């Protein structure tokens, strides 16, 4: 008899508890993917995410085909699609891996109840986090709002479970039920070329290669190099983790292995391990404060006097034309590669919210549209953290100075050179301050006065505190 394995953001064969369980029960497995972004997120999925998803699904389908199986594609409302499939294939059971985003939790509960009432076995598994958000709380039974105590509690209750292996050859159902093709989902519709392919390899194989390369050495320099955008000093695993091509348990396993094999260079590894828990914290906060993708976690910030007439400034920021080189380099890296270095995400976000006084939600939507790792939890945490209105946030009065950040974290101007061709031929000191160069390069003059906008931001904050 048949069991459906409903793939969602767990696009992998290894360490996939739902798949593992279905195979272990001896079922003929029907792997299914349903494209239903409107059920899952407040905003339509962005062009970069859709590009990644297309290629990740293609890779998963190919990996399944190599094992005598395939991925069935559908689009629309998940419940009726699953019900129809259950009926036409006389399926006895459905398995999936849980996700902890608010809309998905609600949707999944409805589906579970409906299918169980039809006599179907429905079982879901923990897979996308090391700790599910409902299991961690303060001694008073409240959710944590500070990272460090949250992280310590997680560490105390961390189970060292071994990742599951991929199933062997599948027994395929005969015949395969009808479904869409991947191309019917039109995930590549907004893209003219395969523009991101030179930067990324979506799919489980790409994720593994990246993880293994990272843990074989570069990870040990993470502590010293992670803040320097001109250096290849971070893991670039975020889109792979977002789409579940690799599980946090697998990453942690590889990190622990590195800890024991990169003798004496443990600081980088420990720092990296800690950073993985920011992802856990982000999901934790989203679970406990489900309104935060649109609303500040700290209600006092609802009254913040944001600028209202900001379309021109916003456009300049979006296109990397602000006249502040580090901000512009980051925004152009985002448009070209679908990713931005974390240090530069902080600088660009601070510039938008504090110097331009543009609501952080505008920045969050733009990132959502253009990041290959666009992630509701991490993006919300990142934006609220920088804007100062979230949990454990940077104090509002800490305003990143784009010029100092650029001279400090990109001293030779390598990152600026890579992303700003107009400044590439200038000596490093002028790449940071192109307004001093003679002759003037063909590059915008600063759209806003840093010192004045800083004073205004601090004034607005003082006003809010009263």
Instruction: Assess 269 for contact with ligand FAD (CB under 6 A).
Output: no
CB of 261 to ligand FAD, least distance (A): 19
Is 222 marked within a binding site? yes
| Of the candidate residues 242, 249, 354, 431, the single one contacting ligand FAD (CB under 6 A) | 242
Quick one: which of 72, 130, 207, 346 contacts ligand FAD (CB under 6 A)?
346
Q: Which residue lies nearest ligand FAD, judged by its C-beta? A: 382
Q: Mind spelling out the 3-state secondary structure of the chain? A: CEEEEEECCCCCCCCCHHHHHHHHCCCEEEEEEEECHHHHCCCCCCHHHHHHHHHHHHHHHHHHHCCCCCCEEEECCHHHHHHHHHHHHCEEEEEEECCCCHHHHHHHHHHHHHHHHCCCEEEEECCCCCCCHHHCCCCCCCCCCCHHHHHHHHHHCCCCCCCCCCCCCCCCCCCCCCCECHHHHCCCCCCCCCCCCCCCCCCHHHHHHHHHHHHCCHHHHHHHHCCCCCCCCCCCCHHHHHCCCCCHHHHHHHHHHHHHHCCCCHHHHHHHHHHHHHHHHHHHHHHHCCCCCCCCCCHHHHHCCCCCCCHHHHHHHHHCCCCCHHHHHHHHHHHHHCCCCHHHHHHHHHHHHHHCCCCHHHHHHHHHHHCCCCCHHHHHHHHHHHHCCCCCCCCCCCCCCHHHHHHHHCCCCHHHHHHCHHHCCCCHHHHHCHHHCCCCCCCCCCCCCHHHHHHHHHHHHHHHHC
Q: What track of x and - describes contact with ligand FAD for positions 372 through 411 (by CB under 6 A)? A: -xxx--xx-xxx--x-------------------------
Q: Does 220 bind ligand FAD (CB under 6 A)?
A: no
Region binding ligand FAD by CB under 6 A among candidate stretches 47-55, 272-280, 300-308, 448-456? 272-280
Our finding on whether 297 is near ligand FAD (CB under 6 A) is no
Between residues 187 and 282, which has the closer beta carbon with respect to ligand FAD? Answer: 282
375 is in an annotated binding site: yes
Q: Pattern of binders to ligand FAD over 222-241, x per CB under 6 A? A: ----x-------xxxxx--x
Is 415 annotated for ligand binding?
no
Q: Which of 71, 136, 259, 276 is in the footprint of ligand FAD by CB under 6 A? A: 276
Residue ranges for the known binding site for FAD are 222, 272, 373-375
Q: Which residues bind ligand FAD (CB under 6 A)?
A: 226, 234-238, 241-242, 275-276, 278-279, 282, 342, 345-346, 349, 367, 371, 373-375, 378-379, 381-383, 386
Q: Which residues are known binding-site members?
A: 222, 272, 373-375
């Amino acid at each position: 008899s048949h069991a459906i394995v409903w793939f969602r953001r767990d696009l992998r064969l290894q360490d996939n508890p739902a798949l593992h369980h279905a195979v272990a029960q001896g079922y003929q497995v029907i792997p299914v993917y349903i494209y239903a972004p409107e059920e899952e997120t407040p905003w339509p999925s962005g062009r970069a995410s859709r590009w990644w998803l297309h290629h990740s699904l293609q890779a998963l389908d190919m990996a399944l085909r190599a094992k005598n199986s395939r991925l069935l594609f559908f689009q629309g409302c998940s419940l009726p699609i699953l019900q129809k499939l259950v009926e036409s294939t006389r399926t006895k059971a459905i398995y999936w891996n849980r996700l902890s985003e608010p809309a998905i939790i609600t949707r999944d509960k409805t589906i579970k109840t409906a299918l169980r009432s039809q006599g179907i076995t429905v079982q879901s598994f923990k897979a996308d986090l090391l700790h599910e958000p409902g299991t961690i709380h303060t001694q008073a039974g409240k959710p944590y709002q500070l990272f460090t105590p949250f992280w310590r509690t997680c560490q105390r209750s961390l189970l060292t479970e071994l990742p599951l292996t991929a199933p062997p050859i599948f027994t395929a159902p005969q015949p395969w039920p009808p479904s869409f093709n991947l191309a019917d989902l039109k995930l590549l519709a907004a893209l003219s070329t395969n523009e991101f392919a030179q930067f990324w390899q979506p799919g489980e194989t790409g994720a593994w290669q990246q993880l293994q390369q990272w843990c074989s050495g570069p990870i040990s320099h993470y502590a010293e190099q992670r803040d320097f955008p001109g250096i290849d000093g971070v893991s670039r695993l975020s889109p792979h983790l977002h789409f579940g091509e690799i599980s946090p348990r697998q990453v942690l396993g590889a990190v622990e292995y590195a800890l024991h094999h990169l003798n004496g260079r443990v600081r980088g590894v420990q720092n990296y391990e800690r950073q993985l828990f920011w992802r856990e914290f982000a999901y934790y906060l989203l679970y406990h404060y489900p309104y935060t993708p649109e609303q500040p976690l700290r209600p006092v910030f609802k009254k913040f006097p944001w600028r209202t007439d900001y379309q021109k400034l916003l456009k300049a920021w979006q296109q990397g034309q602000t006249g502040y080189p580090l901000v512009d380099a980051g925004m152009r890296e985002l448009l070209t590669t679908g990713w931005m270095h974390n240090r530069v995400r902080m600088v660009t976000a601070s510039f938008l919210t504090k110097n331009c006084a543009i609501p952080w939600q505008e920045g969050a939507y733009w990132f959502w549209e253009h990041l290959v790792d666009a992630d509701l939890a991490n993006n919300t945490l990142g934006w609220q953290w920088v804007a100062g209105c979230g949990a454990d946030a940077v104090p509002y009065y800490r305003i990143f100075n784009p010029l100092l950040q650029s001279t400090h974290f990109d001293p030779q101007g390598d990152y600026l050179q890579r992303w700003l061709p107009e400044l590439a031929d200038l000596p490093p000191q002028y790449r940071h301050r192109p307004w001093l160069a003679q002759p003037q390069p063909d590059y915008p003059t600063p759209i806003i006065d840093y010192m004045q906008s800083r004073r205004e931001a601090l004034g607005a904050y003082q006003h809010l505190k009263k």
